[in-house]
Amino acid sequence: MVLWPNGYLSAEKAPQATLELIQGHLNAQRDAIREFALKNAFHFLDRPQEFQAAAARGTEHYYLTDTHWNQDGHRLAARTVAAYLKVH
């Protein structure tokens, strides 16, 4: 993954996907967005621990067939954003 000076992310020649490669780049997009937000004085809300805690309790927040939030995921995201906005 390459973050170009113009702000675009791209993959150079895509390497063979391995578990180690995927794990090593799981946060690349989030890190690039966080860096951009901090450099430009934007708020950046990154609270994966809420989703991780809910998952540990057995609550499903994603559709089984893709990576999008289901209704419970949207509710959790809304509560998380509302709590953030109350203090910021």
- Per-domain residue ranges for the chain? 2-39, 48-87
Alpha-carbon gap, residue 30 to 34, rounded angstroms: 6
CB 33 within 8 A of CB 9: no
Token digits of residue 63: 């559709």
Q: What are residue 10's DSSP bridge partners?
A: 2
Mean pLDDT in residue range 49-72 = 91
Alpha-carbon gap, residue 76 to 47, rounded angstroms: 11
The string of pLDDT tens digits covering residues 4-54 is 788 877 777 666 778 888 888 888 888 999 999 999 999 999 888 888 999
Task: Output the pTM of the full model.
Answer: 0.64
